[in-house]
Amino acid sequence: MNNSHGDLITLLGGVGVILIVATLIGQWLSAKETDATSNPVIDNLNARIAAWWAMVVLLGLAFLFGKAGVILLFGICSFAALREFVTLTNTERADHWALVASFYLVLPIQYGLIWFEWYGLYSIFIPVYAFLLLPIAAAFRGKTDRFLVRVAETQWALMITVFCASHVPALLNLNIPGYEGRQVLLIAYLVVVVQISDVLQYVWGKLYGKTKIAPVLSPSKTVEGAVGGIASATLVGAGLFWMTPFTWYESACLAFVITLMGFLGGLVLSAIKRDRGVKDWGHLIAGHGGFIDRMDSVLFSAPVFFHLVRYGWDIAP
């Protein structure tokens, strides 16, 4: 990854400048408050900025340690996200062995396959073999009440939090002519474009949002916010073509696809939260909820991005 260090430092430096400006604005807004009671909106803004600093530092450290660091980081995130998902399901004591297998067998095997670059297996391990293993493990406990619901929830938890998330470090395994040693930039590109799309959708929605796009699932999302955010992030993606193996036009097309998938993924996960009667998946990240709340867009966009790039640019054997 040595060839990527210069571009990566440039990107992280740019993100750092944005965070510094955001921090100064947040502190300035806090200083303007003269009331004895704090403003919850400003407090939430500063909490989010602080959380962003922590996440950027962690991602930067993972990049610094190369492939091992990236796989370890996303493996830990998958473990935390899987835990958040499972706490909202209908699992019972009868599902104990299925859950143990999910956390301590399926998850490490999936990331181990990523490490060994075994595409033929990590691309089907969870949706085929794990999906067959889990109901077998649960069936042996003899508990048939809500069996289908319990098994399906655990399967979907693995699919979203482990299978989808593991496609982020899997980008390091791509073999793209003329792009050797720079695959880490694809991860940076994916995360930056999708996350900035979320921010821009929020900004456009606050400024011009009027038409609710899915009032039951996510009352804050508007058509204007979605269109403005996705379009703006597509332009950002086009501008970041210099760090990818794509032309500016290809980069714009891929940015549009992954931001659209990120938006749709957010709606799906919002539907699950509404079904469970919760606002956030967790409270581990101040101002952001849980790991899934922060990763929701990336989870749905990562597998699509990975396969589009693999089949369009990779010279797989």
Give the residue extent of every domain in the chain: 67-173
Q: Which two tokens stand for residue 276?
A: 């469970």
Q: Which helix (H) or strand (E) holds 12?
A: helix 5-32
Q: Which two tokens stand for residue 254?
A: 């891929």
Backbone angles phi, psi at 61, to 5 degrees: -65, -40
What residues form DSSP beta bridges with 212? 222
Highest mean pLDDT: which range of 61-75, 104-118, 135-149, 267-281: 104-118
30, 46 contact by CB (below 8 A):
yes
102, 157 contact by CB (below 8 A):
yes
State pTM to two decimals: 0.87
Average pLDDT, integer, range 280-308? 79
| Secondary structure (DSSP) of 198-252 | HHHHHHHHHHH--SBS-TTT-TT-BHHHHHHHHHHHHHHHHHTGGGSSS-HHHHH
Q: pLDDT tens digits, residue range 138-196? A: 888 878 888 999 899 999 999 999 999 999 999 999 999 989 888 989 998 998 899 88
Three-state SS for 65? coil
| CA 258/CA 297 separation, integer angstroms | 9
Q: In angstroms, how far is CA 111 from the centroid of its own chain?
A: 16
212, 222 contact by CB (below 8 A):
yes
| CA 195/CA 12 separation, integer angstroms | 14
**Residue 289: pLDDT band with limits 50, 70, 90:** low
| CA 213/CA 226 separation, integer angstroms | 8
Angle 237-241-242 from CA coordinates, rounded to 5°: 140
Q: For residue 313, which amino acid is it? A: W
Average pLDDT, integer, range 218-230? 88
Helix pair angle (291-313, 184-208), 10° resolution: 120
